[in-house]
Structure 1
Amino acid sequence: ISGVFEGIRCPEGWNQRRDASDVFDAKADVLELLEMFDIDINKVQVSAESAPWYHPGRSFKIQLGPKNILAMGGELHPKILEQFDLKPGVLGFEVFYTAIPLAKNKKTTKPALFLSPYQAVERDFAFIVDDVCTAQSVIQAINKVNPDLIASVLLFDVFKGEGIPEGKKSLALTVRLEPKTATLVESEIVKVGEDIISSVQKLTGGVLRA
């Protein structure tokens, strides 16, 4: 399954800026598609590595485990754009259907897909935690803050080394907020961020990396 697109993120309005679509929009589309295949996106790993036909630093790869690549995408590489006479900012993605685990039979019916008309917001956090602390425990601590607002929490980096105390590691995560009733204002976004930091510290002992 693949797609190519470009253009503004949403129709211009009094409360919407005329922002161009970017790699985060492509990633959000892919994650939403994976959810439709019953993939728990809180368990996937997202990295900035991708195929050579995508722009380095403006692309992504989504895996389920160390070897199972589910999808990749991002801005097309400048050489590809030049070859096909395309303007900068064209995005693409690929979902590898055969890599998606078969869903187990379920007796319950999934609720209808809800697409919010309000702009989503993504924020990155990096926490220093004990080496034995799992990423899943940090993700669960974040999700407890506001399950109705927090649409996904994705781990994109684990680091141990210079600047990190011995016996500790840094976990970097992207938190996606999807409001359902109104566009978030900056003060609301800041409050959610503060609650996330507090929840992670309380439930895992993790502290925000300076």
Structure 2
Amino acid sequence: MQVGGALTGRRREFHWGQKESQVDFFDIKGILETVVEEITSCRPAVRSYCSPCYQKGQAAQLLLGGDTLGIFGRVAPQVLSRFQIKRPVYIFTLEFDRLLRHWQRERKFRPLPLYPAAQRDIAVVVDEQVETGQIVQAIGAVNPRLIESVELFDVYKGDQIPKGKKSLAFALTFRSAEATLSEAKVEKLFQKIVEKLNREFDAQLRS
């Protein structure tokens, strides 16, 4: 059984004095990740996806335990034009039967962390064909005990980026279960990440 939906328009109701913002790829990504995590107690992997129905670089698959749980992304302009739709539209389909196979009847208790997290952002320029999931996995592998999460928050292609390249920006969360991480320790981890991405993907830091 498939479940589908669409997202378009303002991110929230208009309020005087607030800048109006439109929903985007990361809104639908966050919603679907939350749905999967609430049902399965596991965070799905996200892998880029290509189809004529979706705008290039704006579509992805949700993966968990070898199953493709769903596909989502921005509808291609040529598809929208057939229906005379001028605003961006984001759609998704979820394979509900597959999702329920991963349903956790007993919720796993996760104790609250004892020590604070350290946050850093990183933006790298890589070849267009490099998948976001590859970068996420490479970063996490640097030190799985101390790298708590890696979240993509921006994809950019444009005049400031060489042709055939793209910029990917990630929010990194570092945390130790044993002690508060020092700034020096976080910086050392960050430099290891930079070196690994450069070595494996020829990634260049974007200032």
Q: In which range does the TM-score fall when normalised by the shorter chain?
A: 0.5 to 0.7
- How many aligned residue pairs are there? 153
Give the match for residue 46 of structure 1: 47
**Normalized against structure 2, the TM-score is what?**
0.54
Q: 1:13: how far off?
A: 5.3
Q: Which residue of 2 aligns with 1:22?
A: 24
Cα displacement (A) at 1:6: 0.8
CA drift of 1:20 comes to: 1.5
Question: Alpha carbon RMSD of aligned pairs, Å?
Answer: 4.2
| Counterparts in 2 of 1:21 and 1:139: CA distance versus 1, 3 Å | farther
Identity between Structure 1 and Structure 2 (%): 20
Q: Unmatched 5+ residue regions in structure 1?
A: 111-121, 128-133, 145-149, 155-171, 179-193
For the structure 1 residues 2 and 126, does the alpha-carbon distance in structure 2 shift closer, same or farther, using more than 3 Å as the test? same
2:63 counterpart of 1:63: yes
Instruction: Determine the structure 1 residue equivalent to 2:7.
Output: 5
Give the strand-richer structure, 1 or 2.
2
Shift of 1:81: 0.9
CA distance in 1, matches of 2:34, 2:188: 28
| 1:7–1:20 contact (8 Å) kept in structure 2 | yes
Aligned ranges for residues 61-100 of structure 1 at < 5 Å? 61-64=61-64, 68-100=67-99
Give the Cα separation in 1 of the matches to 2:188 and 2:104: 36
Give the structure 1 partner of residue 189 of structure 2: 199
**Contact map agreement 1:73 1:94 (CA 8 A) in 2:** yes
Q: Distance in 1 between matches of 2:91 and 2:46?
A: 19
Separation in structure 1 between the aligned mates of residue 79 and residue 23 of structure 2, nearest angstrom: 18
**Aligned partners of 1:77 and 1:58: how far apart in 2?**
9
- Name the amino acid aligned to 1:79: Q
**Amino acid corresponding to residue 45 of structure 2 in structure 1:** V
Aligned to 2:116: none
Runs of 5+ unmatched residues, structure 2: 111-120, 127-136, 153-166, 174-183
Decide whether the 8 Å contact of 1:5 with 1:91 is kept in 2. Answer: yes
Counterparts of 1:124-203 in structure 2 under 5 Å? Answer: 124=123, 135=138, 136-138=140-142, 140=144, 143-144=147-148, 153=151, 175=170, 198-201=188-191
CA contact (8 A) 1:44 1:64 kept: yes
What secondary structure does 1:37 align onto?
A: helix
Give CA-to-partner distance per residue, 1:76-134, whole Å, 9 cap, x none.
12222122222230111112122224234426579xxxxxxxxxxx865589xxxxxx6
What displacement does 1:196 show? 6.0
Distance 1:16 1:198 in 2: 39
Q: CA 1:175/1:12 → structure 2, altered by over 3 Å: closer, same or farther?
A: farther
